Amino acid sequence: MTNNHDSQKLDEILAGYVLGNLDEVELAWLNQELATNPQLKEKIKQLEATLTLIPYSLPDDIPNAYLRSKILAKARPKDYKFNRFNRLIWIVSAATMFSTLWLGINNYSLRRQIAIKNNEVQQHQELIALLRKPNNRLVSFQGLDNLPQASGSLFIIPEEKKAILALQNLEPLSGKQVYRLWAISQGKKTGCANFTPDEKGIVYLQLSNDALDDANSLLVTVEPKADTLQPQGNPILTGSYSL
Amino acid sequence: MNLEYRDSLPSSNTDLNYQKTDEEIFELFQKGNVDALGVIYDRYGLLVYRLIYRMLNNSQEAEDLTQEIFISLQKKPNYNPQRSSFYTYLMMITRSRTIDRLRSKRYHSSFLLKKDKIKDLIDRQNHVNPLEMATIDERANQVRNALNNLSFNQRRVLELSYYEGLSQSEIAERLNLPLGTVKTHSRRGLLKLKKNLQDLVD
């Protein structure tokens, strides 16, 4: 390729460039020309524009009418669609979801409370039934001077040869000390049980001791060790048969 | 090149000034005005579709690819106004992407293509705005006349190259012509076309 190309030849090279059919020699020559003559780029631009006009000659085929709206719908940002169209639906859905969740939790809570109440009622009914039995006896305990806030009860069921002791507000003990329950009958004291309270000062104990049936009164003392034969420590509670 | 299409504007869109150039409209679109894409589609959607339909011979694929091309303008627009008009850019990416699609579906038999075409013709309904059609028809007549002024071989070589994406040697083989002759036909055909369409190109 030389510099002697006339205008026609140059135009053909430019057209070949736009059509993509230049050989290597032609392309190398054109690149040199473009470097020295920027106006050629404008000619290339016009030839490219010419080529893209060709589709105007195509037959009158047309796309479906919905294509435009389909394209625009897809082009819209999701948050835009959300703001304009879905926000209300989202809010309603969220409110419904939270309401359902709240109602569910509330329902569960109510059912649980009912179950607890039913259980308590059942326990009370059982207790009333026990108290109504003629041979059953109830002993009330009252704190003495050493521990006036202590109190409790002993419920004796002779038919089943058992008794249930429930005490509260007892103080914790140190070392080997224990609380001991005594049955007093005609001045004689018989040890019935050793026990220690829990961290809240409560004792709940099931007993089985025949001496309780014959007792006139009951006593709770603090003993230096378990299973003493006679009371050695301070009396804490005293009980008398109330039923 | 200025190919605005100012007389066939949808009356519903009041956000955009339809007197704006393609390049101004596209800039608005790039800044987030999605309605601007509607204006671009009104101006060139039909031509994009027709070019793809001519090349793929299947209306459904043509619609799908038309959609892809318009959406791609949003995703990675690399348009440079200094290099070409927006219309030239749009048609160049349309043709380029359709050639890619065409090359991947060469295996389709001619029977299936013909069957698709017949089905398309039956299914098609005319939904296009008459004003839009009139504007395009006016330019279509100009371009058709310009193509008719080319020699038979010049036009044939150009169309095989443009619509089917064939290389010059493939065209030479198909038309049983020497490679040099094919190159000469295509180059001179394009130059003559440019001369005949000068008022649209300037």
Q: Using CA atoms of B94, B97, B100, B101 in order, give the dihedral in degrees to the nearest 10.
A: -80
pLDDT score of A212: 80
pLDDT score of A14: 94
Residue B182 pLDDT > 90: yes
Residue A207 in contact with residue A192, Cβ under 8 Å?
A: yes
Instruction: With CA atoms as reference, report the closest residue to B17 among B32, B1, B6.
Output: B6
pLDDT tier at B145, thresholds 50, 70, 90: very high
- Show residues of chain B in contact with A72, CB under 8 Å: 34-35, 37-38, 41
- CA dist A210 → A138, A180, A207 (Å): 15, 16, 10
Beta strands, E only, chain A: 137-143, 151-157, 162-168, 178-185, 188-195, 203-207, 217-223, 235-241
Is residue A50 within 8 angstroms of chain B, CB to CB?
Answer: yes
Lowest mean pLDDT among A160-164, B162-166, B196-200: A160-164
Cβ-defined contact of B1 to A58 (cutoff 8 Å): no
Distance from the Cα of B36 to chain A's closest Cα (Å) equals 9
3-class DSSP state for residue B122? helix
**Residue-wise pLDDT tens digits, A34-73:** 889 888 988 999 999 999 999 999 988 888 888 888 898 8
| Mean pLDDT computed over A62-87 | 75
Instruction: With CA atoms as reference, report the closest residue to A212 among A227, A187, A226, A191.
Output: A191
Distance from the Cα of A35 to chain B's closest Cα (Å) equals 16
pTM beyond 0.80: no
Lowest mean pLDDT among A69-73, A82-86, B140-144: A82-86
Exposed, middle or buried, A26 (CB in 10 Å: 0-12/13-18/19+)? Answer: middle
Higher-confidence residue of A66 and B123: namely A66
Q: What is the DSSP letter of A205?
A: E
Residue B115 pLDDT > 60: no
| Mean pLDDT computed over B101-125 | 56
Which of A6, A11, A43, A52 has the highest number of chain B CBs within 10 A, making it the mutation to test binding with B?
A52
pLDDT score of B130: 58
| Mean pLDDT computed over B13-36 | 78
Order of all β-strands in the sheet with A178-185: A188-195, A178-185, A217-223, A235-241, A137-143, A151-157, A162-168, A203-207
| Mean pLDDT computed over B55-71 | 91
| Mean pLDDT computed over B96-104 | 86
Neighbouring C-alpha atoms within 13 Å toward the C-beta of A229: 0
Instruction: With CA atoms as reference, report the closest residue to A163 among A150, A154, A175.
Output: A154
- Show residues of chain B in contact with A63, CB under 8 Å: 45-46, 49, 53, 59, 62-63, 66
The bridge status of strand A217-223 relative to strand A178-185 is: antiparallel
| Mean pLDDT computed over B25-39 | 87
Q: Which amino acid is residue A139, in one-letter code?
A: V
pLDDT score of B131: 56
